[in-house]
């Protein structure tokens, strides 16, 4: 019932917004910049409201994975896509030849064409299904007592970060891919097909081109390649050093001294961070340790205090403080009473005041880094909060 009511409310808001846009569009000269600005004013106001409504149902779903919340999320996504497609049709009718740079840039960013309602609903459903599989993912084995032991992603991360048993490391890394990755894979192929189809409908080659265009930098690919080449010598030295330390730890059967580093030995589920290899790769063993986990626990840090400390860091550079609601509305740890999605995410609720994070962490050095990372996103959201919707 809640999802039905929510859909009705969304539909009413959509119809009002479109009617206002069409009213602005009536008897319009395509090169009239004042009418374009009026349209943008209406669009920016309505899109923020629609985004906020979807942000709320999406948060409700990801912090309480139920069929009802999933249905509400899918319905909200469909209505939003309908509004965006309608706004795109109006924006595309303007001749921006003599418009100001700002007006032209905003109109370019207004909406996009949409696929059919059925395809858009399917796309949202696929994203929801993948998220649910990821959030509910477990890897099971027989424990020392002979009973089945099933581990979620957080516990698997603990194995990868702390264990030096190569068989256990491979079990955790491979188990996640076998039990979660394989279930997501067919859905992901459908997701890619629909996203690429949506991109082509809007005149782009594929979804990758859509993502690159957001940077508004024609030389983006060249810039990234130049950065890669600049960093490559340092990375190659770091890679060789860590590879040697892993070789010394696990031996030639596990590590090719001239090859790549097996991902399950990086201390991270996706090989993204090598922080957890510090104990075997520390370059100067006689120097004080740089792993702060012990110090954090000795000083009775909590997850909240890690966020408060990170907030102090950003404020020390003259940036904005977190709003009080951040601590009341965010999810820092896995609740015991419901299924949630724990992958770290920073969320902007598009109302200029509600900013949250969603994660499930404990007091550890690597999580202290994650806290700073997520607050970097939040800082960005707070800094652009006064910009028009199209620029967020």
pLDDT at 281 over 80: yes
Distance between CA 349 and CA 216 in Å, rounded?
Answer: 24
Direct distance between the N- and C-terminal alpha carbons of the chain, in angstroms, rounded to an integer: 32
Q: What percentage of the chain reaches a pLDDT higher than 70?
A: 93
Between 8-12, 128-132, 219-223, the lowest mean confidence (pLDDT) is in: 8-12
For the chain, the average pLDDT equals 90
Q: Tell me which residue has tokens 């690429």.
A: 196
Distance between CA 334 and CA 35 in Å, rounded?
Answer: 49
Mind listing the pLDDT tens digit for each residue in 58-100? 999 999 988 899 899 989 988 998 999 999 999 989 999 999 9
Mind listing the pLDDT tens digit for each residue in 36-59? 999 999 999 999 999 999 999 999
Q: If pLDDT is split at 50, 70 and 90, which confidence band does 229 have?
A: very high
Whether 348 and 355 have beta carbons less than 8 Å apart is answered as yes
Distance between CA 212 and CA 228 in Å, rounded?
Answer: 17
- pLDDT given at position 273: 86
Can you list the domains of the chain with their CATH numbers? 1-114 (1.20.1050), 115-214 (no CATH), 218-287 (no CATH), 293-391 (no CATH)
Tokens of 362: 């404990």
- pLDDT given at position 23: 52
DSSP secondary structure letter of residue 331: B
Whether 347 and 356 have beta carbons less than 8 Å apart is answered as yes
- pLDDT given at position 27: 52
Q: If pLDDT is split at 50, 70 and 90, which confidence band does 9 have?
A: very low
Mind listing the pLDDT tens digit for each residue in 110-120? 988 889 989 99
Q: Which residues pair with 347 in a beta bridge?
A: 356
H or E element, residue 346:
strand 345-348
- pLDDT given at position 177: 97
Q: If pLDDT is split at 50, 70 and 90, which confidence band does 21 have?
A: low
Q: In 10 A of CB 77, how many CB atoms?
A: 21
In this prediction, residues 378-385 reach a mean pLDDT of 97
- pLDDT given at position 19: 54
Calculate the alpha carbon distances from 92 to 79, 114, 255, 357, 391 in Å.
20, 14, 56, 36, 18
Whether 307 and 371 have beta carbons less than 8 Å apart is answered as yes
pLDDT at 5 over 80: no
Tokens of 267: 């201390």
Closest CA to 391 of 350, 354, 349: 350
- pLDDT given at position 135: 83
For residues 154, 159, 162, 165, the Cα torsion angle rounded to the nearest 10 degrees is -170
What lies within 8 Å, CB to CB, of 265 at 6+ separation is 166, 169, 246, 250, 254, 255
pLDDT at 156 over 70: yes
Whether 199 and 205 have beta carbons less than 8 Å apart is answered as yes
3-state secondary structure 262-286: CHHHCCCCCCCCCHHHHHHHCCCCC
Calculate the alpha carbon distances from 84 to 235, 282, 355 in Å.
43, 52, 23
The structure's pTM equals: 0.78
- pLDDT given at position 113: 87
- pLDDT given at position 1: 42
- pLDDT given at position 28: 47
Decide which of 284 and 379 is more confident: 379
Mind listing the pLDDT tens digit for each residue in 299-310? 999 999 999 999
Closest CA to 4 of 83, 68, 84: 68
pLDDT at 367 over 70: yes
H or E element, residue 151:
strand 148-151
Tokens of 90: 């109006």
Distance between CA 138 and CA 156 in Å, rounded?
Answer: 9
Mind listing the pLDDT tens digit for each residue in 341-354? 888 999 999 999 99
Whether 374 and 359 have beta carbons less than 8 Å apart is answered as yes
Distance between CA 19 and CA 390 in Å, rounded?
Answer: 20
- pLDDT given at position 312: 98
- pLDDT given at position 8: 45
What lies within 8 Å, CB to CB, of 328 at 6+ separation is none
Mind listing the pLDDT tens digit for each residue in 178-192? 999 999 999 999 999
Q: What percentage of the chain reaches a pLDDT higher than 90?
A: 72
Distance between CA 266 and CA 260 in Å, rounded?
Answer: 11
């Amino acid at each position: 019932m809640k999802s039905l009511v929510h859909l009705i409310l969304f539909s009413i808001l959509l119809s009002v917004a479109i009617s206002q846009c069409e009213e602005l569009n009536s008897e319009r000269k395509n090169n009239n910049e004042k009418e374009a600005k009026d349209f943008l004013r209406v669009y920016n106001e309505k899109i923020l409201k629609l985004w906020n409504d979807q942000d709320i149902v999406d948060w409700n779903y990801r912090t309480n994975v139920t069929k009802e919340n999933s249905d509400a999320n899918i319905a909200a996504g469909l209505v939003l896509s309908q509004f965006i497609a309608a706004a795109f049709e109006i924006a595309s009718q303007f001749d921006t030849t003599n418009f100001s740079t700002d007006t032209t840039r905003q109109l370019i960013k207004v909406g996009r064409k949409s696929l059919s309602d059925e395809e858009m609903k399917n796309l949202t459903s696929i994203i929801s299904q993948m998220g649910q599989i990821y959030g509910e993912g477990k890897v099971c084995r027989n424990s020392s007592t002979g009973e089945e032991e099933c581990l979620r992603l957080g516990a698997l991360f603990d194995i990868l970060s702390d264990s030096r048993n190569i068989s256990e490391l491979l079990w955790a890394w491979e188990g996640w891919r076998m039990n979660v990755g394989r279930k997501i894979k067919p859905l992901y192929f459908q997701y890619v097909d629909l996203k690429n189809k949506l991109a082509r409908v809007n005149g782009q080659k594929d979804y990758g081109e859509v993502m690159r265009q957001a940077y508004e930098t024609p030389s983006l690919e060249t810039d990234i390649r130049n950065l890669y080449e600049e960093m490559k010598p340092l990375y190659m030295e770091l890679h060789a050093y860590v590879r040697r330390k892993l070789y010394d730890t696990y031996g030639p059967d596990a590590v090719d001294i001239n090859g790549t580093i097996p991902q399950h030995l990086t201390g991270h589920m996706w090989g993204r961070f090598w922080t957890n290899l510090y104990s075997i790769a520390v370059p100067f063993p006689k120097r004080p340790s740089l792993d702060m986990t012990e110090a954090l626990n000795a000083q009775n840090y909590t997850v909240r205090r890690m966020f408060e400390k990170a907030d102090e860091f950003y404020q020390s550079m003259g940036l904005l403080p977190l709003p009080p609601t951040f601590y009341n509305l965010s999810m820092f740890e896995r609740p015991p009473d419901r299924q949630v999605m724990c992958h770290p995410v920073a969320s902007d609720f598009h109302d200029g005041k509600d900013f949250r994070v969603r994660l499930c962490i404990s007091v550890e050095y690597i999580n202290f880094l994650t806290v700073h990372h997520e607050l970097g996103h939040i800082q960005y959201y707070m800094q652009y909060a006064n910009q028009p919707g199209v620029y967020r």
